[in-house]
Amino acid sequence: MAGSDVDSEGPALRGGAARRPGAPGGPGSEAAAGCPELLSTAEAPAESATLPAWMRLYFYGMHGITLDVLVSSARRFARSPDLRMLGFSSPYSCLLHSLTHFALEKVYLQQRRCPSAFVFNFLLYPSAHVGLQTLAGQALLLSLGGGAGGAVAPGALDLALQYVLALYHCQVFLKRFLRLRYGRQRRRRRQQQQQQQQQQQRRGALPVAPGARVPTATGVRRRRPRGPRGAGGAPSQGLPDLPRFLFFGMHGFLDEIFFTFFFNVLGQGDGTTSGHTSLWSFFMYGSCSFVVEKLYFHLHYSRGWGTWKRVPIYVLFIYVWELSWGLGLRTCGACSWDYSHYPLNFMGLITLMYLPGWIFLSVYQDLISNVLWRVQYVPSN
């Protein structure tokens, strides 16, 4: 990934003299004393702010698809037990979930204006949630059904389920999700550029243009940008491991729903307007992406490998992971995929036909990891 291999944030400055080892009084030592050592952006303190709107919409859509898959899978299993645990959703539902969750967030933030927390948590917010979700569901049925006959009034069980989801959304999800913060370094970079210009002016040099790197004197050691890592290439900040695993698992649902939807609509599918996945995919994608992220931090920040040197390692691991899970699930009749009708397949569990897709997801995984390590959870006091 070109964007992940370049330190585009610009270096930060560390106070103090930077001298060459073994030459405290040699040539260039005076220049080195006046030139602070460059510090990578990962070591510079980052400002924290609420998640941007686009990121919240992304999370809300992914979270909504996860709920769709869980509910539809449970209903399907109750009617006809199937260890494949198939669940369904669609990109249309993803868009509606993003918009409705975003609107419900605004409702949730009005909680302080309500004199009674009990009334808000168990009456006002659930009413808004149930009403908005019901309207969104009816709008989806109308758009896909092609007329008023496509809309069906929700039953008592559906309304009860929406009420339970409203309580979960208010008491669990939003209460924790809105504590996430996104680290920013723009103001820090501006301060660094001003410091660089002042130091250049003291030495009688021309001011440095914004965003340009400061030339160092001969013999001055530049610190190599190390990126978001601590010991062994692990991220030095960001979400803990469990939330990252949950994020990757939900993103696996998102990937499969979108892929199977477009395959059904544009490819060789049955033309249905929904995508499908399996509950097992949550654990498959969650664990696989979690390991691939660790590989990314190690290979990129510890070993200095570029994108196209890392991608073959990612893809090889993905194929081994998919084959291992497929063999395990097939033994108990829970495998939800079969590539036997595709060319270049092995045991019907992996196929080279999907190689371009895995390459794309591998590169996209690096982008996601770069974003996630800037997201932090701020617990309540």
DSSP string of 47-82? EEEEPPHHHHHHHHHHHHHHHHHHHHHHHHHHHS--
Distance, in Å, from the CA atom of 338 to the CA atom of 336, rounded to the nearest integer, reads: 7
267 has a pLDDT exceeding 80 = no
Question: Is the four-CA dihedral 55, 373, 243, 306 of positive or negative sign?
Answer: positive
Distance, in Å, from the CA atom of 331 to the CA atom of 230, rounded to the nearest integer, reads: 40
At residue 220, the pLDDT reads 42
Report DSSP state, residue 19. -
At residue 271, the pLDDT reads 57
On whether the CB atoms of residues 136 and 158 are closer than 8 A, the answer is: no
Mean pLDDT throughout 241-267? Answer: 91
On whether the CB atoms of residues 252 and 282 are closer than 8 A, the answer is: yes
**Predicted TM-score (pTM) of this structure:** 0.75
Please count the residues of the chain. Answer: 381
User: In sequence order, what are the beta bridge partners of 88?
Assistant: 276
Q: Given pLDDT bands bounded at 50, 70 and 90, which one contains residue 144?
A: low
Distance, in Å, from the CA atom of 217 to the CA atom of 214, rounded to the nearest integer, reads: 10
Identify the residue whose tokens are 């080892």: 21
User: Which secondary structure element, helix H or strand E, spans residue 95, and what is its range?
Assistant: helix 91-108
Mean pLDDT throughout 216-222? Answer: 43
Domain boundaries, the chain: 2-46+185-227, 48-109+178-182+232-377
Which residue type sits at 344?
L
What DSSP string describes 309-373? HHHHHHHHHHHHHHHHHHHHHHHTT------TTSTTEETTTEEGGGHHHHHHHHHHHHHHHHHHT
Report DSSP state, residue 123. I
Residue scoring higher pLDDT (35 or 140) = 140
Distance, in Å, from the CA atom of 84 to the CA atom of 86, rounded to the nearest integer, reads: 6
What residues contact residue 212 under an 8 Å CB cut-off, 6+ apart?
Answer: none
Distance, in Å, from the CA atom of 358 to the CA atom of 330, rounded to the nearest integer, reads: 22
Mean pLDDT throughout 264-282? Answer: 81
